[in-house]
Structure 1
Amino acid sequence: MPTERTFRVWRGGADGELAEYTVEVHEGEVVLDILHRLQATQTPDLAVRWNCKAGKCGSCSMEINGRPRLSCMARMSTFEEDETIIVTPMRTFPVIRDLVCDVSYNYQKAREIPSFTPDPETRPGDFRMQQSDVERPQEFRKCIECFLCQDVCHVIRDHEENKRNFSGPRFLMRVAELEMHPKDTEDRRMVAQEEFGMGYCNITKCCTEVCPEHIKITDNALIPLKERVADRKYDPVVWLGDKIGLRKGADTPMVPNTRPNTYPEEDTPE
């Protein structure tokens, strides 16, 4: 039997306000279903972004009762019977209207990442990888770019000025994926630190907690990347090599990546 529930939904732009609605809810429905019913029956001009309704496109990201979530994966059965559901846009990004945000910041950061750079002398038939090296990027590539990890990251959520020099967890994960790739020749460790703000991340794991694909962003990407950056910046042997020019291209701040391209056993993606 359908029941009536109270929804409070953000209406307007950055200076908007919450509007209250009483709406019919059926068994098995998710929050996105209710928003569609509101559009159909009470407020046809409600702006909400969505696409697949299967938790795979990342389009319907918003905040539900203060928590960043995909509205198509937020089942109504998970809320208390008398609980008011408060639906607001992601707070880290500018509001266009209602529940739709301008997430262009994320695409700008994506363009800044150096692309995959294999050895130009390697022939396609010579390109071989261990199975563990294949499995590692597969975990990171599950990302659906919902940007919930970007939204919940307090480094950019609470400090607008950090957007200039901090890429956020989604793109630090991309840097880590490329840095750990055994066939990539680009050294991204100092780039991660100096251009993408690796040092701003204090590994609170909030990004991991909200990831709908259950990617271990902190444990398998951010922490290993921090370790590599620390090795490059503070290893006394590397420092000495820089000073006396024991490597090719001693006038550049990069050295060949010597860290093993493997996880500790406990961090291996399932």
Structure 2
Amino acid sequence: MSYTAHFRVWRGDSEKGDLVDYRVEVNEGEVVLDIIHRLQQTQAGDMAVRWNCKAGKCGSCSAEINGRPRLMCMTRMSTFTESDVITVTPLRAFPVVRDLVTDVEFNYQKAREIPAFAPPEGVAPGEYRMQQVDVERSQEFRKCIECYLCQNTCHVVRDHEENKAAFAGPRYLMRIAELDMHPLDAADRQRAAQEEHGLGYCNITKCCTEVCPEHIKITDNALIPLKERVVDRKYDPIVWLGNKLFKRDKTDA
């Protein structure tokens, strides 16, 4: 069964743009990305859109659909009624290149600012050993497809451009949390999270978790535990004294 849907798609570039109305055919089983492709084929051949796998695993087709950050390839048309006006706009937190394509260089820069896994001295590759429970603690975070929906919806980034220099955003604070959970990582992740990557800016509203297409519990399983470890280290007198007495490599590196 097919019908004609009313789409409003943002068209423009970094200088100017506006929403443009389209009437377009929708067929059973289609997703929003199918409709955008049909618009390219039939009415707007110059429309710019970024996509790759169309299977919800590459993260390329991120956009805002009726104001909510989503993957276009994972948003089924069956979730809307035939009378709905479906608005598709680019990610708001990042500069527009053209139409639905945004410049996400901010995220690559934040990724480069986080040092890689740092093994302890005297342990060679191939000699790393860890318990299965430690593997499982951070396994969830490795499902991230870097669609940047969490970065886009985080109001610290989205609503305050001035925060971008000092705040890594939920995706990369989650990366720091993952490394901090690794029993062999010798880098001082907790200090860096607070002093270099803006952990204190996060006020755990869980908006990042709500939009994650991989259903990663970013707030509950990464950000809150990381905040708790940072606070313990900085303010708990017993932890502070223990760190001074035993000089654990992980906290004094």
Q: Shared fold by TM > 0.5? A: yes
Q: How does 1:229-268 map to 2 (within 5 A)?
A: 229-240=230-241, 246=245, 248=247, 255=251
Question: How far did residue 237 of structure 1 move?
Answer: 3.3
Question: How far did residue 81 of structure 1 move?
Answer: 1.8
8 Å contact from structure 2 (residues 32, 75) kept in 1: yes
Counterpart-to-counterpart distance in 2, 1:185 and 1:100: 39
Counterpart-to-counterpart distance in 2, 1:34 and 1:255: 52
Q: How does 1:55-94 map to 2 (within 5 A)?
A: 55-94=56-95
- Aligned residue type for 1:5: A
Question: How far did residue 220 of structure 1 move?
Answer: 0.5
Report the 3-state secondary structure (helix = DSSP H, G, I; strand = E; otherwise coil) of the residue aligned with 2:81. coil
- Aligned residue type for 1:255: T
Residue 116 in 1 paired to residue 137 in 2?
Answer: no
Counterpart-to-counterpart distance in 2, 1:179 and 1:211: 22
- Aligned residue type for 2:41: A
Counterpart-to-counterpart distance in 1, 2:226 and 2:102: 30
RMSD: 1.9
Q: Pick which of 6-15 and 71-80 moved more.
A: 6-15
8 Å contact from structure 1 (residues 247, 255) kept in 2: no
Question: How far did residue 130 of structure 1 move?
Answer: 1.1
2:38 equivalent in structure 1: 37
Q: Give CA-to-partner distance per residue, 1:71-126, whole Å, 9 cap, x none.
A: 00000000122001000000000000000000000000000002100113114454
Q: How does 1:161-240 map to 2 (within 5 A)?
A: 161-240=162-241
1:265 equivalent in structure 2: none
8 Å contact from structure 1 (residues 48, 60) kept in 2: yes
Question: How far did residue 136 of structure 1 move?
Answer: 2.1
Counterpart-to-counterpart distance in 1, 2:115 and 2:56: 29
8 Å contact from structure 1 (residues 8, 87) kept in 2: yes
Counterpart-to-counterpart distance in 1, 2:251 and 2:58: 38
2:107 equivalent in structure 1: 106
2:152 equivalent in structure 1: 151
Question: Structure 2 vs 1, CA of residues 134 and 238 (structure 1 numbering), >3 Å: closer, same or farther?
Answer: closer
**Segments of 4+ in structure 1 off by > 6 A?**
none
Counterpart-to-counterpart distance in 1, 2:28 and 2:85: 17
Counterpart-to-counterpart distance in 2, 1:98 and 1:28: 25
Counterpart-to-counterpart distance in 2, 1:190 and 1:59: 32
1:12 equivalent in structure 2: 12
Question: How far did residue 186 of structure 1 move?
Answer: 1.1
Q: Give CA-to-partner distance per residue, 1:36-86, whole Å, 9 cap, x none.
A: 000000010000000000000000000000000000000000012200100
Question: Structure 2 vs 1, CA of residues 128 and 93 (structure 1 numbering), >3 Å: closer, same or farther?
Answer: same
Question: How far did residue 241 of structure 1 move?
Answer: 6.6
8 Å contact from structure 2 (residues 69, 153) kept in 1: yes
Report the 3-state secondary structure (helix = DSSP H, G, I; strand = E; otherwise coil) of the residue aligned with 1:58. coil
Any stretches of 5+ residues in structure 2 without a counterpart?
A: none
Report the 3-state secondary structure (helix = DSSP H, G, I; strand = E; otherwise coil) of the residue aligned with 1:164. coil
Report the 3-state secondary structure (helix = DSSP H, G, I; strand = E; otherwise coil) of the residue aligned with 1:4. strand
- Aligned residue type for 1:143: C
Q: Give CA-to-partner distance per residue, 1:213-257, whole Å, 9 cap, x none.
A: 000100100000000110111122354578xx64659xxxx8359
8 Å contact from structure 2 (residues 3, 82) kept in 1: no
Report the 3-state secondary structure (helix = DSSP H, G, I; strand = E; otherwise coil) of the residue aligned with 2:164. helix
* Number of equivalenced pairs: 252
Q: Pick which of 227-236 and 163-172 moved more.
A: 227-236
Counterpart-to-counterpart distance in 2, 1:70 and 1:198: 26
Counterpart-to-counterpart distance in 1, 2:182 and 2:119: 10
